[in-house]
Amino acid sequence: MPLMKSWVASANEADHPFPLNNLPYGVFSTEGGDPRCGVAIGDVILDVTAAEAGGLIELADEPLFDLPFWNPLMEEGPAVWAALRNRLTALLAEGAEEQAQVEPLLIAQIDAEMHMPFAVSEYTDFYAGRHHAQNVGTMFRGPENALPPNWLHIPIGYNGRASSVVVSGTDIRRPWGQLKSPDHDMPAFLPSRRFDIELEMGAIVGTPSDGPISVQEADDNIFGYVLLNDWSARDIQAWEYQPLGPFQAKATATSISPWIVTKAALEPFRCDTPVREFELLDHIKDCGPMLYDIDLEVTMEPDGKDATVIARTNYNEMYYSAAQQLAHHSTSGCPMNTGDLLGSGTISGPTKPERGSLLELSWGGKEPLTLDTGENRTFIEDGDTLTLTGAAKGKGYTIGFGDCVGTLLPALENPYAR
């Protein structure tokens, strides 16, 4: 598919993340205004709430965009998702009759503040990147026992904390937590000293389910994708995670990109999961290309200094697709709801510059990175800004997500002072 031309000139620029082929969904506000639903096109946002209120978009008897999140549309299902996309494409395409009516509803992105694009029902994070699991397992258990016995048979996942999911741009406060240094006999309550990122994609459930669903049904039920950074306190995690998994180490914050890129926009970029060592059992077997070819990049920017690219990889490095993860999530009969967010797990490629966490990049803190500024890093230091970007590169156009960015603030001196 070539670039689709829009009458919004900036959307036609080479490598612009928001061409007419994309049309990602977000929630924005302008100074003094309430948050509302919008779609990104070039350098502007079409105010979808206003477009619906003004009769330019009519999809249902009740308004779908009068709340500041996209869940009501997500609940409507694939036919309405397609109808909206068709209508937005028609309104914004070169030569659209409605251009004069739509133009007053465009807001410059530079003037907009972005909010959470959807209400997160529940949040699940997976551990489904082969290279990440191999790296982490090698560090902790040696290369022979790197992958747990179940790893090649099910996408390992754990429930995270929906209340801690925040939109890109939200500052992250370094957490306190109980941890135990290897050179101490007893734990202590301290600010985390090994605070990390996890480069991930997040899949958003649109259509709910109640009972086991197949991989194909799971793929059908997914509404779209965001970039996701699962901030992780490695020292808290090391002390707490046995035997029941990570808990407070992962509960400070998880950042997502401001724009939900729909499955329709990503359709040309579908690709297969890798060749498998063991055939998967039927309930999670591949049934079509359900990963996506999306280039991913992480930069680290010390306070007031230039940013350095610290990792480049691709979503196609995953061992399990989001559809397989969602299908697995439903096997026990677990009801899945509109707005459930599934983190892919850290995405790392096979070589060192492709690693999606500082834990891997600095090999557990033993091999510091050198930034372009000349500074060294093992984990994140106060004031560092971490930015995730993603781009699916088509023939003549690019699909972007907007930056997923967060700055680490120093720990509070006394977290219990009010």
* Sequence ranges of the binding site: 125, 127, 141, 198, 200, 230, 237, 241, 250, 254, 346
Long-range contacts of 142-150 (CB under 8 A, 24+ apart): none
Q: What is the DSSP letter of 54?
A: T
Binding-site residues from annotation for substrate: 127, 141, 237, 241, 346
Least separation in angstroms between residue 302's CB and a copy of itself is 23
Least separation in angstroms between residue 247's CB and a copy of itself is 5
Cβ-based burial of 73 (10 A; exposed 0-12, middle 13-18, buried ≥19) = buried
Distance of alpha carbon 110 from alpha carbon 414, whole angstroms: 36
Q: What is the DSSP letter of 198?
A: -
Q: By C-beta, is 65 or 231 nearer to a copy of itself?
A: 231
Distance of alpha carbon 368 from alpha carbon 379, whole angstroms: 8
Least separation in angstroms between residue 32's CB and a copy of itself is 25
Q: What is the DSSP letter of 281?
A: P
Q: By C-beta, is 101 or 337 nearer to a copy of itself?
A: 337
Least separation in angstroms between residue 115's CB and a copy of itself is 16
Q: Quick check: bond before 410 cis, omega within 30?
A: no
Q: By C-beta, is 81 or 127 nearer to a copy of itself?
A: 127
Q: By C-beta, is 110 or 244 nearer to a copy of itself?
A: 244
Q: Which position among 115, 131, 132, 328 bears the catalytic label?
A: 132
Least separation in angstroms between residue 22's CB and a copy of itself is 31
Residue among 384, 376, 381 at smallest CA distance from 405 = 384
Binding-site residues from annotation for Ca(2+): 125, 198, 200, 230
| Residue 200, token pair as written in the block | 């991930």
Binding-site residues from annotation for Mg(2+): 230, 250, 254
Q: By C-beta, is 101 or 407 nearer to a copy of itself?
A: 407
The answer to whether the CB of 342 falls within 8 A of the CB of 322 is: yes
Distance of alpha carbon 256 from alpha carbon 304, whole angstroms: 23
Annotated active-site residue 153? The verdict is no
The answer to whether the CB of 250 falls within 8 A of the CB of 241 is: no
Least separation in angstroms between residue 281's CB and a copy of itself is 5
Cβ-based burial of 279 (10 A; exposed 0-12, middle 13-18, buried ≥19) = exposed
The answer to whether the CB of 205 falls within 8 A of the CB of 340 is: yes
Cβ-based burial of 152 (10 A; exposed 0-12, middle 13-18, buried ≥19) = middle
Can you give the binding site for a copy of itself, defined by CB under 8 A? 121-122, 127, 148-150, 153-154, 156-164, 173, 175-178, 180, 186-189, 211-214, 233, 236, 239-249, 251-253, 278, 281-283, 328-329, 331-337, 415-416
Q: By C-beta, is 92 or 411 nearer to a copy of itself?
A: 411
Residues in a beta bridge with 299: 309, 387
User: Mind telling me the catalytic residues?
Assistant: 132
